Structures are given as structure tokens and as C-alpha cells.
Amino acid sequence: MDDLSRRAVIEELELFEKRTREIIGRIDGKRSIGAFERDELQAMYSALKEDVKAAAKLGKATQDRDAQTDWERYYFAPAMLKAANGLRAKTNSHPINSNWIGSLLDAACEFSYYLAMLQKDRPGDR
């Protein structure tokens, strides 16, 4: 398994986790938000959800080749599928009044778990 593919998977998982935690950070502990912030958060959540679903469908961290690598097969694809299932809050729902935190935490945990497992699995360990 090539190291370039491994690095691409790590970078993509880190990016998805960062995007997820950014939304969590903006709503965690708040009791209310204004209409502008609500709309902005809904756009962020909608884009995240769409991107996770697209990545889950593709099953690859990059689109520059046809075949899925082992790194993608064992780490990226399962993380994306599970995160997509975790992002169950509706995109047009209210970030505070709906269970966005639960949905986002589910997805963030999947990214974090597969990222940690991938970082432990070094090339040549198999």
C-alpha cells in the first residue's frame, strides 16, 4: 500500500473532522442563535453532509485514479459510510433545537476513530 494514498486518506479524514468540529464549536452550549448565524450553520452542515455522502459513494479520498487503494478500502470508505449514517439531523432543521450536536458528534467520532486506527497502521506492518 503506497504512502501517498495513505497521506491522502489522513488529510481527508482530518479535514472532515475539522469541518465537523467547527460546526460543533459554534453551537455547543448555546441556547439560541440569530437568523443569520442559523442560515450560515445550515449552509455549513448541508455542505458537510453532501460532501460526506459523496465521499461515501465514491469510497476514495481522491478522484485522480480508478482503483480504490487498501487505505481507502479499510479506513476511508468505512469512516465515510458510518459518518454519513451519523449525520441524520435534517439540514433545514434548527441547529440548537434539533439534535445536531448528537449527529455531528457521531460523525466526528467516526472520523477520529478511523484516523487513529490509520495512524497506528504503518506501511509494512501487514
What does the domain layout of the chain look like in residue ranges? 3-120
Distance CA 50, CA 62 (A): 16
Reduced to 3 DSSP states, what percent helix, strand and coil does the chain have, rounded to the nearest 5? 70, 0, 30
**pLDDT of 126 above 50:** no
Residue 95: which of 34, 18, 17 has the closest Cα? 34
Which cell is 76 given? 476511508
- The mean of the pLDDT values for the chain is 92
| Residue 90 amino acid letter | K
Rounded mean pLDDT of 96-113?
95
The pTM is what? Answer: 0.91
Please name the residues in contact with 113: beta carbons below 8 A apart, sequence gap of 6 or more. 79
Q: How many CB atoms are located within 10 Å of the residue 29 CB?
A: 7
Rounded mean pLDDT of 8-25?
97
Q: How many CB atoms are located within 10 Å of the residue 97 CB?
A: 11
